[in-house]
Structure 1
Amino acid sequence: MAAEQALLSTEIVNRGVEASGPDAGSVTFSVRVRRRLPDFLQSVNLKYVKLGYHYFINHAIYLATVLVLVLAFGAEVQSVGGPTDLWSKMCDGESYDLLTVIALFGVLVFTVLIYFVSQPRPIYLIDFACYRPSDEFKVSKQDFIDLARKSGKFDEPSLEFQAKILQSSGIGDETYIPKAIMSPANCATMKEGRIEASTVIFGALDELFEKCRIQPKDIGILVVNCSLFNPTPSLSAMIVNHYKMRSNILSFNLGGMGCSAGIIALDLAKDMLEANPHSLAVVVSTEAITFTWYNGRNRSMLIPNCFFRMGGSAVLLSNRRRDFPRAKYQLEHIVRTHKGSDDRSFRCIHQKEDDQRLKGIAISRDLMEVGGHALKTNITTLGPLVLPVTEQLLFFAMLMWRTVFGGPDGSKPYIPSYKLAFEHFCVHAASKNVLDELQKNLGLSDRNMEASRMTLHRFGNTSSSSIWYEMAYLEGKERVHRGDRLWQLAFGSGFKCNSVVWRALRRVKRPTRNPWLNCLDQYPVRT
């Protein structure tokens, strides 16, 4: 175990030429790298810092222009002796002063008008719902292994491997799995996939419509993301059919985008809301694990079986100003990072068939390294948008000092504290090891990581919906107050790392419908 956790030197091994498939004729290789996140403190790529400031300056340029015009207007007024003398001269008919002041005032008003017109409509999060399956789907870690053994789909070494992974996974004994995956019959069928998807999606949407007191026909935009199960007709079409939504609804179905697809779906919904005023949008995030369950012996493909669990979320967004009084949050920033141009990043989470032609998801040993670099890029870009000015000035002062004068050997650059930017953190609950490394590298406290760890313990890795179970945990604990900023951070295949920042518009009291209500008093627990 100690050897597995140690840092490994990078080694490229040529494995020959691909014989068949889409990569036929290409040289194949494997890269063995360290299995921990890279130390974020060792290097900072300035081009991503510059990108973050580019986003910031696009909005700040208008405010800077207004400041200059205000100063010019004030100087002009003072040059004629102040407001009283200006008024007397205007009354005496001195047109030069009058025209100058009117021109400056007109330019100032025009600039302010352009600034407000150019700003996108605010996007409000009215409410959200997370599906909690019934207790008949609940399994403990031991039940999981016992059911897997009875299914006859796994040999004894595979069962022992999964049991070992589960013991150190951070997953508790009350997660949920569909019954079909542990039956002796083949569960990876379109029928079983549709059964699970419809159960989860309709359960979350029914709760959302009830909580928000809206009708399905009121929804103008629908975005659904499910990475691996993509039937025809699509899941978005299934929702439109089930709820008899209106014929001019703008519906989208995102597939194959991994655990970070929930934030990508939010970004798409945001763009559609900015282009369509006075609209409501629903974002549905889920994963149908029945359809993608792996029954083979490849250990890298058995790992997802141990972590992924049944779950899904539905989120209601609005750009209507009349929804402000009942909205919980306002969207502030979305920052997306895509590392797919790098081959190692592209292949670190890969759906494929094993030697027995059984389909599954292969997890590469490169995952921690690849994910760390994507995360570093994302938070470096996000920093200028959210960090206090004092932290940014200190960061740049230390960076310039090291650049000009150099630093002692082994010294580390100053990294701003993201705890000063956010009150709450919702980090994708991928696995215990990933959360441990993120906490260490970002310098977060146990309380900062509590929502993520408890979500992994109670619900497992529910893919793109996990960040909403974490937000539901914070609401259930009544920790969200007016003005608080919440950071949702997710990462997944591709390789992608995405962030979304919300600002609480009011103190959020414990909801009457919450997936944690029946067990909230038991948490936090020691994991």
Structure 2
Amino acid sequence: MSSDPTSATGNGGVLQIHHGRRLPDFLQSVNLKYVKLGYHYLMTHLLTLCMIPLMSIVIIQASQTNPEDIRHLWHHLQYNLVIVITCSAILVFGSTFFLLTRPRSVYLLDYSCYKPPSHLQVKYKKFMDHSKLTGDFDDSSLEFQRKILERSGLGEETYVPEAMHHIPPRPSMAAAREEAEQVMFGALDNLFENTKVKPKDIGILVVNCSLFNPTPSLSAMIVNKYKLRGNIKSFNLGGMGCSAGVIAIDLAKDMLQIHRNTNAIVVSTENITQNWYFGNKKSMLIPNCLFRVGGAAILLSNKSSDRRKAKYKLLQTVRTHKGADDKAFKCVYQEQDEAGKTGVSLSKDLMAIAGGALKTNITTLGPLVLPISEQLLFFATLMAKKLLNAKVKPYIPDFKLAFEHFCIHAGGRAVIDELEKNLQLLPVHVEASRMTLHRFGNTSSSSIWYELGYIEAKGRMKKGDRVWQIAFGSGFKCNSAVWQALRNVKASPNSPWEDCIHMYPVQIVT
């Protein structure tokens, strides 16, 4: 809405709102807004409001009780040793059972996102010039890539690996290993420096990279580099797409439930060097225009003593897998084209499949995070539709009541647009995703961490704030992680946004 929300029109001298609604309609919507706010407040504090009259009755009754009766009851209990011992035993046993079986809290101590050196930046013109000089693309493919770049939401400062800056490109195994080492070790070096945690203190290591899986594994490369201990529980996740970062967090969370008093590191990255497509199939050219160099390292702990220095506490993880459906399974698919050139093909049904996966995911997540007021509204509309066959629009829960911040995977402009529309979010809620896409491109599974870094760098993360990280990936998968800030969180030293946050947000050209 503009700074001048109203304007006089010639339509019978009726004052209209900026979006074309007449003043009475606008006032009605304002009234409905406050009615809904009142409803949410009432439902949120319903138990408290019901307890007030109940407590009043109890206090009044207690004040009218004969003191002699209370003394008689106390005297009876005082000498009934069996009851006292039994109650004490039950209390001790129950407390012990609860402490031993309750889920251990998982804390995020810190994380670090890799920022590549400036000489790896690729501007639109350089990208197109190199594409022409390679001689692998026909005129139609070059024009297609140019249009995708212009509409992608990427800026002029994203990064591609060293091998892609040569003419012709040099996508060798050695170059791919070099890219992986630069990204993973760069993020880990900064993480260890910021947290002062020693590599020998790491008990669990989870690495995810979808398209590059050498032998020895990427997790073994990290163990070798930092001389991690011999009994470390290490995992290497491959082929799981852009949502693997949340899967890695979920796996680390499960391992932290088993192993006491230890730290876990999650490394999320993707490797571009050997996965650039040099053919002319349009659906396989899109990843060239969107995917860029990036990675993140995250330090987790299950030690209760670490709570005071942790940034966040993990509240929920919800994973949705649509792989049983053939269309969903093949909508992001690595294959060879007719000329035998390998690439990742994106189906035209991708957004519809992502929407279905999102619906399933939030159906599971909603009851875990939404206030009871939203759950009741959702349940009421669902029952009306199912039982009464009423033509009622499905109620979209207001997730803004559950979360203060949203980290939507920066997979592309269309992904962010769809979630903004379907979840009825405001521009500020998707700002971190849009700006991450603009500054760093699609860094695959690590993008949600660059987005969290953006929110911190802007000084928006306050104690108690809840963050929803949501990502989509091949398979097809939609995964969510929910965190809560344990303090006012500031960006850590050497954040990737450190030298440029003052320039953001920028206007994205449509």
Post-superposition shift, 1:140? 1.6
Which whole-Å CA distance do the structure 1 matches of 2:89 and 2:255 have between them? 34
Q: Among 61, 70, 76, which residue is 1:89 paired with?
A: 76
What does residue range 120-139 of structure 1 map to in structure 2 within 5 Å? 120-139=103-122
Which whole-Å CA distance do the structure 2 matches of 1:82 and 1:145 have between them? 91
Q: Among 159, 168, 183, which residue is 2:142 paired with?
A: 159
Aligned partner of 2:363 in structure 1 is 380
Q: Could you say what secondary structure the match of 1:314 adopts? A: strand
Q: Among 241, 244, 251, which residue is 1:268 paired with?
A: 251
Are the aligned partners of 2:115 and 2:294 in contact in 1 as well (CA < 8 Å)?
Answer: yes
Post-superposition shift, 1:404? 3.6
Residue 213 of structure 2 corresponds to residue 227 of structure 1:
no
Out of 241-250 and 361-370, give the one that drifted further. Answer: 241-250
Which whole-Å CA distance do the structure 1 matches of 2:291 and 2:258 have between them? 36
Post-superposition shift, 1:249? 1.3
Aligned partner of 2:451 in structure 1 is 470
Are the aligned partners of 1:309 and 1:459 in contact in 2 as well (CA < 8 Å)?
Answer: yes
Aligned partner of 2:401 in structure 1 is 420
Aligned partner of 2:433 in structure 1 is 452
Q: How many residues align?
A: 446
Q: Among 378, 381, 386, which residue is 1:395 paired with?
A: 378
Post-superposition shift, 1:202? 0.7
Which whole-Å CA distance do the structure 2 matches of 1:218 and 1:470 have between them? 28
Post-superposition shift, 1:178? 1.2
Aligned partner of 1:26 in structure 2 is none
Q: Among 427, 442, 458, which residue is 2:423 paired with?
A: 442
Aligned partner of 1:503 in structure 2 is 484
Out of 315-324 and 149-158, give the one that drifted further. Answer: 149-158
AA matched with 2:72: D
Calculate the TM-score normalised by the size of structure 1: 0.81
Are the aligned partners of 1:152 and 1:184 in contact in 2 as well (CA < 8 Å)?
Answer: no
Cα separation, partners in 2 of 1:174 and 1:305, compared to 1, 3 Å: same
Post-superposition shift, 1:415? 2.2
AA matched with 2:423: L
Q: Could you say what secondary structure the match of 2:345 adopts? A: strand
Post-superposition shift, 1:428? 0.2
Which whole-Å CA distance do the structure 2 matches of 1:141 and 1:220 have between them? 43
Residue 155 of structure 2 corresponds to residue 172 of structure 1:
yes
Q: Could you say what secondary structure the match of 1:333 adopts? A: strand
Which whole-Å CA distance do the structure 2 matches of 1:208 and 1:146 have between them? 37
Post-superposition shift, 1:99? 4.0
Q: Could you say what secondary structure the match of 2:234 adopts? A: strand
Aligned partner of 1:479 in structure 2 is 460
Are the aligned partners of 2:333 and 2:474 in contact in 1 as well (CA < 8 Å)?
Answer: yes
Out of 507-516 and 488-497, give the one that drifted further. Answer: 507-516
AA matched with 1:456: L
Residue 290 of structure 2 corresponds to residue 290 of structure 1:
no
Aligned partner of 1:299 in structure 2 is 282
Q: Could you say what secondary structure the match of 2:273 adopts? A: coil
Q: Among 520, 523, 526, which residue is 2:501 paired with?
A: 520
Are the aligned partners of 1:148 and 1:182 in contact in 2 as well (CA < 8 Å)?
Answer: no
Which whole-Å CA distance do the structure 2 matches of 1:505 and 1:446 have between them? 25
Cα separation, partners in 2 of 1:511 and 1:204, compared to 1, 3 Å: same
Post-superposition shift, 1:433? 1.1
Are the aligned partners of 1:187 and 1:293 in contact in 2 as well (CA < 8 Å)?
Answer: no
Which whole-Å CA distance do the structure 2 matches of 1:389 and 1:101 have between them? 39
Cα separation, partners in 2 of 1:81 and 1:148, compared to 1, 3 Å: farther
Are the aligned partners of 2:154 and 2:437 in contact in 1 as well (CA < 8 Å)?
Answer: yes
What does residue range 257-406 of structure 1 map to in structure 2 within 5 Å? 257-406=240-389
Post-superposition shift, 1:525? 1.1
Which whole-Å CA distance do the structure 2 matches of 1:284 and 1:168 have between them? 30
Are the aligned partners of 1:153 and 1:184 in contact in 2 as well (CA < 8 Å)?
Answer: no
Q: Among 190, 198, 201, which residue is 1:218 paired with?
A: 201
AA matched with 2:147: K
Calculate the TM-score normalised by the size of structure 2: 0.84
Q: Mark the runs of 5 or more structure 1 residues left unpaired by the alignment.
A: 1-77
Post-superposition shift, 1:244? 1.5
Residue 175 of structure 2 corresponds to residue 188 of structure 1:
no
AA matched with 1:153: D
Cα separation, partners in 2 of 1:522 and 1:114, compared to 1, 3 Å: same
CA deviation profile, 1:28-56 (whole Å, cap 9, x unmatched): xxxxxxxxxxxxxxxxxxxxxxxxxxxxx
CA deviation profile, 1:292-335 (whole Å, cap 9, x unmatched): 00001011100000000000000000111221111100111110
Aligned partner of 2:47 in structure 1 is none
Post-superposition shift, 1:105? 5.7
Out of 370-379 and 113-122, give the one that drifted further. Answer: 113-122
Post-superposition shift, 1:108? 4.9
Out of 393-402 and 463-472, give the one that drifted further. Answer: 393-402
Q: Could you say what secondary structure the match of 2:174 adopts? A: helix
Out of 294-303 and 268-277, give the one that drifted further. Answer: 268-277
Post-superposition shift, 1:216? 1.4
Which whole-Å CA distance do the structure 1 matches of 2:403 and 2:313 have between them? 14
Post-superposition shift, 1:104? 4.9
Cα separation, partners in 2 of 1:81 and 1:508, compared to 1, 3 Å: farther
Are the aligned partners of 1:151 and 1:183 in contact in 2 as well (CA < 8 Å)?
Answer: no
Cα separation, partners in 2 of 1:81 and 1:465, compared to 1, 3 Å: farther
Are the aligned partners of 2:110 and 2:310 in contact in 1 as well (CA < 8 Å)?
Answer: yes
Cα separation, partners in 2 of 1:523 and 1:84, compared to 1, 3 Å: farther
Percent sequence identity over aligned pairs: 57
Are the aligned partners of 1:329 and 1:503 in contact in 2 as well (CA < 8 Å)?
Answer: yes
Are the aligned partners of 2:453 and 2:491 in contact in 1 as well (CA < 8 Å)?
Answer: no
AA matched with 1:460: G
Are the aligned partners of 1:175 and 1:458 in contact in 2 as well (CA < 8 Å)?
Answer: yes
Which whole-Å CA distance do the structure 2 matches of 1:375 and 1:510 have between them? 30
Q: Could you say what secondary structure the match of 1:284 adopts? A: strand
Post-superposition shift, 1:260? 0.4
Post-superposition shift, 1:119? 1.1
